Amino acid sequence: MRRLSAAKKLGYATGQFGWSLSTFGVSNLLAYFYLPAETEGEVLSLFISQHYILGVMTLLGIIAFSGRFFDAITDPWIANLSDRFKGPLDRRRFFMLISALPMALFGFLVFYPPVDGVSPWNALWLALMLFGYFLAFTAYTVPYTALLSELTEQPEERIGLATWIAVAWAGGFILGNSVYAVQAAFEQWGMSSLEAFQWSILGFSLISLVLTLVPVFALRTRDLVVQTQSDLPLLMSLKSILADLNFRRFIIADLLYWVALTFVQVGFAYYVLVLLQLERAIISLYLQVMLLSSFLYYWPINALAKRYGHRPLLVFAFALFCLVFLLNASLGYWPIPPFYQGLSVALLAGLPLAIFAILPNALIADAAAADAMLTGQARAAMFFAVRNFMMKLGISLANFLFPSILLLGKSIDQDLGIRLAAMAAFGFCLIGLSLMWHYRDPTGHFDHEPTDSVLKD
C-alpha cells in the first residue's frame, strides 16, 4: 500500500491551519464584536440592537443562527456536487481552489459594518456577509475533509493524518486567539479599539488565504488512492448513510459536544473579563495555554486509539469536559487568586480537546472507506458532510441560545447569564456522554452491510 510522504501530509495539514484561522473570527468573535462585555470601559462600539426580540431572542442570535443553519444545510449539497464532480483538477481540489478567496474576503467583511452606530443596515450587512462566508467555507471544508479517507488506505495512517490536521487546527485556533493581544498592541500604537480589532482581522484573513491554497498546489490527483466518482443522487446517498443506527448515535453525540463547546468558546472572554475581572490580553494567554497543553496528549492519544479504539477515549473526554464546564460556572468563587483559577481550567481542558480534535475525523474517515469498499460508491464528502451538518447545527443552536442567556446578566455586578451559559454547556455535554456510552466502536465497519434495497429505495 502506498504511504503518503511527510511533505504531502504537511501540505495537506496546512490547509486545515488556514481554515481554522479563517473561521475563528466568525465562530468566536461575533458576540465579542457585536455584543461587547460591560466592563469599566467599553471595548468596542455598538452596531446592532442589544435588546430582546419577542422577549427571548436577540438580533445577533437570530442572524448567527440563520447563518449557521444555512451553512449546515448546504453541506450535503456541496458534498454531493464534489462526490459526483468531473472536470478541471480533481473533485476535491477544484472546490477548494474556487472557494479560498471568497472565504477570506467575507471573513473580514463580517466585522466591517458600513454604518457608524446602531443601524438596521448593519444587521442586514452582517447577515449577507455571514451567508457569503458560510457558502465559501462549506465549499472548501467539505471536499478538504473528504481527502482524509482518500489520501491513504490504512486506518492507522488515517489516525496519524488526523493527528497532523488536529495539530494544524490547534495552530490556527491559537493564532486566531491572539487577536485580543494583537488588538491590544495596535491600541498602544494609538488606534481606537475598533480600528485595532479590524486591522487584526484583516491580517489574519490574508494569512488564512495563503494557507488554504497550499494543499491545492501541494497535492496531485495521483496522490489519491480513491479517484472514482459517486453516481448516487443527493437524497439516496444521504439515506443510505443515515441507515446506520450506530453512526447516528455518534453524530448526535457530536452535535451536543459542539453546542457545549461553542457556549464555552463564545463565553470565554466573559469568563476572563467579568467573572475573573482580569485584563483582556489574558484571554489569549489562557487559550494558548489550553491548546499548547493539548499538544502533549496528541501522540499518546494516537497510540491509545490504535490499541483500544475510539469509544473509550471519547467517553472519557465527555466526562472530563463535564467537569471543565462545571468549573467554568464557579469561576470567581475559588479560594485562590483569579489568575490561577483560569489557568487551572485551561490546563484541564487540554486533554479532552486533544481527543475530540483527533478521533472523530479518523472515525468518519474509516467509516467512509469501509462504505466505499462495500458499495463501490466513493462518498467520503457526504460522510463528512453529515458530520459537518450536525456540527454546524450544534454551533447554530449555541449561537442562537447563548445571547439570550447572556442578557440575563453579563456585567461584573450581575453575572447570572454568564454562569447559566456554562451550566447549560454542562447539561448538553452530559447528554452527549450518555449517547457515547452506548456507542459501539466499529473501527471503520458498519453495523450492517448496505443492501441494494437501501441504495435503490
**Which residues are registered as beta bridge partners of 57?**
53
Quote the pLDDT of residue 245.
75
Quote the pLDDT of residue 40.
46
Quote the pLDDT of residue 404.
81
Residue 43 has pLDDT above 70, yes or no: no
Residue 286 belongs to a domain: yes
Quote the pLDDT of residue 396.
76
* Cα–Cα distance measured from residue 197 to residue 187, given in angstroms and rounded to the nearest whole number: 9
**Which residues are registered as beta bridge partners of 52?**
58
Confidence of residue 323 (pLDDT cuts 50, 70, 90): very high
**Cell 472565504, residue?**
103
Quote the pLDDT of residue 388.
79
- For residue range 333-370, what is the model confidence (pLDDT) as tens digits? 888 988 999 899 889 988 998 898 888 887 787 777 77
User: Which residue segment(s) compose the domain that 286 sits in?
Assistant: 6-456
Residue 418 has pLDDT above 60, yes or no: yes
Q: What is the mean pLDDT of the chain?
A: 81
* Cα–Cα distance measured from residue 397 to residue 252, given in angstroms and rounded to the nearest whole number: 13
Element housing 364 (H / E): helix 338-375
Residue 378 belongs to a domain: yes
* Cα–Cα distance measured from residue 317 to residue 439, given in angstroms and rounded to the nearest whole number: 14
Higher pLDDT, 372 or 34: 34
Quote the pLDDT of residue 42.
47
Half-sphere exposure for 360 (CA within 13 Å, toward CB): 30
- For residue range 180-212, what is the model confidence (pLDDT) as tens digits? 888 888 888 888 888 888 899 999 999 999 999
Half-sphere exposure for 119 (CA within 13 Å, toward CB): 11
Residue 430 belongs to a domain: yes
Quote the pLDDT of residue 446.
34
Residue 237 has pLDDT above 80, yes or no: no
DSSP 73-129: HHHHHHHHHHHH--SSS-TTHHHHHHHHHHHHHHHHHTT--SSSSS-HHHHHHHHHH
* Cα–Cα distance measured from residue 371 to residue 152, given in angstroms and rounded to the nearest whole number: 15
Count of domains forming the chain: 1
Quote the pLDDT of residue 159.
79
Rounded percentage of the chain residues whose pLDDT exceeds 90: 20
Residue 130 belongs to a domain: yes
Q: What is the DSSP letter of 271?
A: I
Quote the pLDDT of residue 214.
95
Confidence of residue 229 (pLDDT cuts 50, 70, 90): low
Reduced to 3 states (helix: H, G, I; strand: E, B; else coil), residue 38 is strand
**Which residues are registered as beta bridge partners of 53?**
57
Q: Give Cα separations from 215 to 96, 376, 393 (angstroms).
A: 9, 27, 27
Quote the pLDDT of residue 232.
65
Residue 157 belongs to a domain: yes
C-alpha cell at 330: 464557579
Quote the pLDDT of residue 454.
36
Quote the pLDDT of residue 125.
92
**Which residues are registered as beta bridge partners of 38?**
411
CA dihedral 103, 264, 301, 172 (to 10 degrees): 30
User: What CATH number does the domain containing 222 carry?
Assistant: 1.20.1250.20
* Cα–Cα distance measured from residue 199 to residue 183, given in angstroms and rounded to the nearest whole number: 8
Q: What is the average pLDDT across 423-440?
A: 88
Residue 234 belongs to a domain: yes
- For residue range 61-93, what is the model confidence (pLDDT) as tens digits? 888 888 878 887 888 888 888 877 777 777 788
Residue 268 has pLDDT above 50, yes or no: yes
Q: What is the average pLDDT across 220-242?
A: 68
Residue 53 belongs to a domain: yes
- For residue range 365-417, what is the model confidence (pLDDT) as tens digits? 777 777 777 766 667 777 788 887 888 788 878 877 887 888 787 777 777 88
* Cα–Cα distance measured from residue 114 to residue 123, given in angstroms and rounded to the nearest whole number: 10
| CA proximity to 237, closest of 445, 439, 75, 442 | 75
Quote the pLDDT of residue 445.
38
Residue 1 belongs to a domain: no
Confidence of residue 130 (pLDDT cuts 50, 70, 90): very high
**Which residues are registered as beta bridge partners of 58?**
52
Give 33: exposed, middle or buried? Use CB within 10 Å, 0-12, 13-18, 19+: buried
Top-ranked range on mean pLDDT: pick from 134-138, 147-151, 288-292, 419-423: 134-138
Quote the pLDDT of residue 365.
77
- For residue range 3-28, what is the model confidence (pLDDT) as tens digits? 677 888 899 999 999 999 999 888 88
* Planar angle of CA 174, 175, 179, nearest 5 degrees: 110
Q: Which of the residue ranges 124-128, 193-197, 218-222, 268-272 would you say has the lowest mean pLDDT?
A: 218-222
Q: What is the average pLDDT across 112-127?
A: 88
